[in-house]
C-alpha cells in the first residue's frame, strides 16, 4: 500500500531548510520515494497572510514557498467542496481555520497528516510526528 501524506505548512518550511525541528520519522516519510506527498493550497494562503502581517519572514516570499513545493516534488491540493462539508462536522479541538481545513482535507482524501501541532493530534485521524 502506498503511503500518502499531507504536509502541514511548518513541515514544508522546515523540510526545505533541513531543520533539526523535524523528527527522523518525518524525514523518512518525506524521503520515501514510494510515498505521495501533498501540500494544500491552504498552506499557501496561510503563508501569504503571515507574510502580509509580517508574522513570517521568508526571503523570496510566496514564490519561494512555491519553489519549496515544486523542488521537493510535492503535489498541490486545491480546496474541494467535500473538504468544506467535512469541516462543518469536525469537533472543535482546534480553532485555527487553516489547520481545520487541513484536517478535513486529510480525512476526506485518506491522507496521513504530518504535523507537530498537538491540537491536530486530538482528532481521530492518522498523523505522524
**Model-level pTM greater than 0.85?**
yes
Reading phi first (left if > 0) and then psi (alpha if -120 to 50, else beta), residue 113 is in: beta
Give the pLDDT of residue 110: 97
Torsion of CA 87, 113, 68, 47, to 10 degrees: 40
Q: For 17-55, write each residue's pLDDT tens digit.
A: 999 999 999 999 999 999 999 999 999 999 999 999 999
Residue spans per domain, the chain = 4-128
Closest CA to 42 of 2, 1, 83, 95: 83
Neighbours of 30 (CB within 10 A): 19
Predicted confidence at residue 1, as pLDDT, reads 82
Give, in degrees to the nearest 5, the angle at Cα 17 between 14 and 75: 65
Specify the residue for cell string 485518506: 110
Q: Report the chain's mean pLDDT, rounded to a whole number.
A: 95
Domain 4-128 has CATH 3.30.360.10: no
Amino acid at each position: 500500500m502506498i503511503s500518502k501524506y499531507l504536509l502541514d505548512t511548518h513541515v514544508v518550511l522546515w523540510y526545505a531548510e533541513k531543520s533539526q525541528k523535524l523528527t527522523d520519522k518525518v524525514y523518512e516519510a518525506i524521503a520515501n520515494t514510494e510515498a505521495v506527498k501533498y501540500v494544500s493550497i491552504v498552506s499557501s494562503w496561510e503563508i501569504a497572510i503571515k507574510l502580509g502581517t509580517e508574522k513570517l519572514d521568508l526571503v523570496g516570499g510566496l514564490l519561494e514557498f512555491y519553489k519549496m513545493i515544486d523542488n521537493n516534488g510535492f503535489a498541490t491540493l486545491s480546496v474541494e467542496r467535500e473538504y468544506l462539508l467535512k469541516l462543518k462536522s469536525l469537533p472543535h479541538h482546534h480553532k485555527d481555520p487553516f489547520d481545520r481545513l487541513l484536517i478535513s482535507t486529510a480525512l476526506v482524501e485518506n491522507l496521513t497528516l504530518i504535523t507537530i501541532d498537538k491540537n491536530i493530534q486530538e482528532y481521530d485521524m492518522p498523523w505522524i510526528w
